[in-house]
Chains A and B, each alone.
Chain A
Amino acid sequence: MIHIGTYIEQFINWLTLHFAALFHVIKVLVESIVNSVEWILMFPPFYVIIALVAFLAWKRTGWGLMLFTLLGLTLIWGMGYWAQTMATLALILSAAFIALLMGVPLGIWAAKTPLAGKLIRPVLDLMQTMPAFVYLIPAVLFFGLGKVPGAFATVIFAMPPAVRLTTLGISQVPKDIVEATRSFGATPRQLLFKVELPLALPTILAGVNQTIMMALSMVVISAMIAAGGLGEVVLKGITQLKIGLGFEGGIAVVILAVILDRITQSFGPKKKINA
């Protein structure tokens, strides 16, 4: 018998023991991010938030999505899940923010250094294919129950597309443009910020969209470790076999997903003017 599980257990225990202080710092940090976002979302009356999101939807895509947003969010409010929805939204946005904060630099690094790219790719594959439930265990060990381990598991699951699409975006920058930039005496930093990132931006934004959608798919799973929000509603529906409750939570997640997807997608790649 090969006891890989034993080793991993020992490793995780070792981490928990020796890095308790670090985990505490992370916990406080993440908690404050999630709580601040949630506070911002909950502070104004619900109709102000609905109006703002609807305005953004109209501005970015048009009347269709604006109408959908108005009706959808009002429905959520009407069903009585406004607080849960905002809690979920806060968790998703915070997790996506952290995932991008780590994922984009990692993606740049992978694009720039072939070796880093080779090392990072299998790790990303692992992160994406490992059943998401598995992350819950170390998350709980490191951070206890609540929003922070929920955010932790969500970040791990949602980060790969941010890394991948950043790498893709940077390596897709035409070689002749990179060469021209270098020929004019650009430093590596100038090359990155003035040329590569601006040109990779549409692809990176597609990564942002994917990251947010992946984070949304973790809602119910992270509810299992008391992350709260809409996931908790759905989970209650499952555990107590309340079909109505489950669907109500589910519908709220779908509405949120459609709005987030359409709006973030509108920032992504567009048709080129002169192809």
Chain B
Amino acid sequence: MSKLKIEDLTLIFGKEKEEALSLLKQGKSKAEILKKTGCTVAVKNASFNIEQGEFFVIMGLSGSGKSSLLRCLNRLIEPTSGKVILNQRNITSLGEKELQAVRRKEMAMVFQNFGLLPHRTVLENVAFGLELQDIPQKEREEKAKAVIDLVSLKGYENQHTGELSGGMQQRVGLARALANDPEILLMDEAFSALDPLIRTQMQDELIDLQEKMHRTIVFITHDLDEAIRLGDRIAIMKDGEVIQIGTPEDILTNPATDYVSSFVEKVDRKSIITAASLMFEKPTVAILRKDGVEGSLRKMRSSGLTSLPAVSVDKHFLGFVYLKDILELKAKGEHTIEKAIIKDIPVAYPETTVEQMLPFIAENGRAVPIVDIETNKLIGIVAQTSLLIETTGASWENVTGNTIDNLQKEII
């Protein structure tokens, strides 16, 4: 079962919500609804599931409805229609008291502008959520101190939050949310107000923290780089609609719409794209003890390649064979290619990123073999051309033989 299910959630701002909702059901566009009723459709039929322990990022530009959607999850904004189901319980139908209980125990939120209490110390701020639950002072301060350690705020307990830098303030915000021990952490542009350097540092720390604590996190951002760094899955929103949900790699490699691709273009792909998505499966191989010298030569001729990966009969990767070596063997009258196999070829795995494969770019244009990390069986190869293009960000259309050579020289 999913931890959090959002079913057909719609949020409309304005006076004539009912009318706007029925128009929306008739399939009218946002612009038409705005014209007829004066209502703004902030979120339109959003449906998705978030799994236990998942880091789920909702990404969109300002006005895309992402922050409103997040606020519908804990009903800081009441959704107009649809359901939010947490642990198989419908949040949207809860009464005031039950909702308060959910906000106290199950969901905690971190805000872009921190939302800290300036008249209180760090410790008092972190313990604030517990204070609202009427937990005795001693107990809540103990818990708060533990969380303060967790987010590296030790030593700042008695400072007022106004005296802290933005990064430190957001640590307080994060600690305050974690002190409640929530099942779900809602983070609204939590790092957007920070300097780029601090932001990256906070992202890293959040990733480390998440590895330890395995919370379910819903993170809102307008920055695709951030979404890709942090998210297990990303939902992309535009004009109140979720237009694509997928893993960072899904989104980068198969953008659902032009809108998504326009974002994707700006992203540094090297650290995200993995061998698996560049890989050419079922490559032509020379099989030891099956393809002899003649067989290998024939395969090279028909594929136009001067080098082939060599594998055993059960597909274990052995190395590479080169045309000139095979020709030498042929001249010597040998039948097996065993002696021509160049071993100690670096291999990559399906999860290896382009960035990690950079050292494999070789002068002789040899493809990078991709093997199964456990069995060492050859799964496929990544052509040097693909690697070069991914590395340099050149677009496929403009690439000719010459540019490939130039790129190769540049990199080596």
Residues of A within 8 A of B (CB): 174, 176-177, 179-187, 190, 194-195, 198-199, 272-274
- 10 closest A-B pairs by beta carbon, nearest first, are A180-B115, A185-B104, A185-B103, A183-B109, A185-B100, A184-B129, A176-B115, A274-B162, A176-B113, A177-B115
Q: Nearest chain-B residue to A187 (Cβ)? A: B100
Q: A183-B107, A185-B100 are in contact. List 16 more A-B contacts (CB 8 A).
A: A176-B114, A177-B117, A179-B76, A180-B109, A180-B115, A180-B116, A181-B128, A181-B132, A182-B103, A184-B180, A190-B132, A194-B131, A198-B117, A199-B118, A272-B162, A274-B162
CA distance A133 to B278 in the complex (A): 89
CA distance A194 to B180 in the complex (A): 18
For B100, the chain A residues whose CB sits under 8 A away are 185-187
Partner of B103, one of A176, A183, A272: A183
User: A182 → chain B, closest Cβ, in Å?
Assistant: 6
Q: Nearest chain-B residue to A272 (Cβ)? A: B162
Is B101 within 8 A of A183, CB to CB? no
For B115, the chain A residues whose CB sits under 8 A away are 174, 176-177, 179-181
Counting contact residues on chain B (CB < 8 A from A), the size range is 20 to 34
24 A–B contacts, CB within 8 A, in A order: A176-B111, A176-B114, A177-B117, A179-B76, A179-B111, A180-B115, A180-B116, A181-B115, A183-B111, A183-B186, A184-B103, A184-B180, A185-B101, A185-B129, A186-B100, A195-B117, A199-B118, A199-B119, A272-B118, A273-B160, A273-B162, A273-B163, A274-B162, A274-B163
Q: A177-B117, A195-B117, A198-B119 are in contact. Are A184 and B104 (CB under 8 A)?
A: yes
Q: Nearest chain-A residue to B133 (Cβ)? A: A185
Interface membership of B385, Cβ < 8 A? no
Q: Nearest chain-A residue to B160 (Cβ)? A: A273
Interface membership of B108, Cβ < 8 A? yes
Interface membership of B74, Cβ < 8 A? yes
Interface membership of B102, Cβ < 8 A? yes
Which chain B residues numbered 48 to 82 have a C-beta less than 8 Å away from chain A?
74, 76
Is B76 within 8 A of A183, CB to CB? yes
- The 0/1 profile, CB within 8 Å of A marked 1, for residues 337-376 of chain B is 0000000000000000000000000000000000000000
User: B156 → chain A, closest Cβ, in Å?
Assistant: 14
Q: A177-B116, A194-B131 are in contact. Are A183 and B162 (CB under 8 A)?
A: no
Which chain B residues numbered 113 to 139 have a C-beta less than 8 Å away from chain A?
113-119, 128-129, 131-133
User: A194 → chain B, closest Cβ, in Å?
Assistant: 7
Number of A-B contacts (CB under 8 A): 72
Q: Nearest chain-A residue to B164 (Cβ)? A: A274
- Greatest chain A CB density within 10 A among B111, B112, B186 is at B111
For A187, the chain B residues whose CB sits under 8 A away are 100, 132
Which chain B residues numbered 131 to 170 have a C-beta less than 8 Å away from chain A?
131-133, 160, 162-163
Q: Nearest chain-A residue to B128 (Cβ)? A: A184
Is A185 within 8 A of B102, CB to CB? yes
Residues of B within 8 A of A (CB): 74, 76, 99-105, 107-109, 111-119, 128-129, 131-133, 160, 162-163, 173, 176, 180, 186
- Greatest chain A CB density within 10 A among B107, B111, B115, B133 is at B115
Is A183 within 8 A of B118, CB to CB? no
Q: Nearest chain-A residue to B131 (Cβ)? A: A194
CA distance A274 to B114 in the complex (A): 15
User: A201 → chain B, closest Cβ, in Å?
Assistant: 8
User: B2 → chain A, closest Cβ, in Å?
Assistant: 22
Is B132 within 8 A of A185, CB to CB? yes
CA distance A232 to B149 in the complex (A): 66
For A190, the chain B residues whose CB sits under 8 A away are 132
User: A265 → chain B, closest Cβ, in Å?
Assistant: 20
- Greatest chain B CB density within 10 A among A186, A187, A272 is at A186
For B173, the chain A residues whose CB sits under 8 A away are 180
Q: A179-B115, A199-B119 are in contact. Are A186 and B132 (CB under 8 A)?
A: yes
Q: Nearest chain-B residue to A199 (Cβ)? A: B119
- Greatest chain B CB density within 10 A among A182, A185, A190 is at A185
For A184, the chain B residues whose CB sits under 8 A away are 103-104, 108-109, 128-129, 132, 176, 180
CA distance A268 to B256 in the complex (A): 57
For B162, the chain A residues whose CB sits under 8 A away are 272-274
User: A19 → chain B, closest Cβ, in Å?
Assistant: 38
- Greatest chain B CB density within 10 A among A181, A182, A190, A195 is at A182
User: A4 → chain B, closest Cβ, in Å?
Assistant: 38
For B109, the chain A residues whose CB sits under 8 A away are 180, 183-184
CA distance A179 to B188 in the complex (A): 12
Q: A176-B113, A274-B163 are in contact. Are A182 and B76 (CB under 8 A)?
A: yes
Q: Nearest chain-B residue to A273 (Cβ)? A: B162
CA distance A199 to B108 in the complex (A): 22
User: A107 → chain B, closest Cβ, in Å?
Assistant: 19
CA distance A176 to B173 in the complex (A): 12
Q: Nearest chain-A residue to B176 (Cβ)? A: A184
CA distance A199 to B104 in the complex (A): 22
CA distance A190 to B96 in the complex (A): 14
For A274, the chain B residues whose CB sits under 8 A away are 162-163
